[in-house]
Amino acid sequence: MLTQTKTKGGKVTRRVRCVLGLNVSGPAKKFLGDGDPAWIEASTWNAKDMRWDFVIQPEVAAELLDADGAIEIEPDGDKTVRTIRGRVKVKVPFYGSRVEGWIVKGMSDAYDEEAERLEAWLNG
């Protein structure tokens, strides 16, 4: 977490730095270099809508990636359902869709791990 600010209207804005740990090789390395792909997730929480809206701000090859989305939380009986919708577009001929898949998988894995840890914490 880099920053988090609460507004008078109850919204929360935050900036979180994320690093996708993977072995980049071949043509992808040409675009990304030696470091792990990293980005800032700039997001806003709207308590009224129970929704985080986020924009990804890449630290590496920023001109090649557009990504944004929303995380919505809804009650479901005695549980809660979290729905994540987003858009990831990598502008690299021939390899863009492969990189998009890596990014989506990395994000999905991170959200799954977060859900498991939160459930374990809630269940004590």
3-state SS track over 3-58: EEEECCCCCEEEEEEEECCCCCCHHHHHHHCCCCCEEEEEEEEECCCCEEEEEEEE
Q: Could you give the domains of the chain? A: 3-122 (3.30.530)
Cα 68 off chain centre by:
8
* Interval 97-115: pLDDT, tens: 888 888 888 888 888 998 8
Q: What is the mean pLDDT of residues 94-98?
A: 84
* Interval 23-55: pLDDT, tens: 666 766 776 777 777 889 999 999 999 999 999
Contact indicator for 11, 44 with CB cutoff of 8 Å = yes
Please tell me the distance from the alpha carbon of residue 69 to that of residue 94, in angstroms, as a whole number. 24
118 three-class SS:
helix
Which is it for strands 38-46 and 65-76: parallel, antiparallel or unpaired? Answer: unpaired
pTM over the 0.85 mark: no
Counting residues of the chain whose pLDDT is more than 70, the rounded percentage is 90
Q: Residue 62 corresponds to which tokens in the numbers above?
A: 């920023």
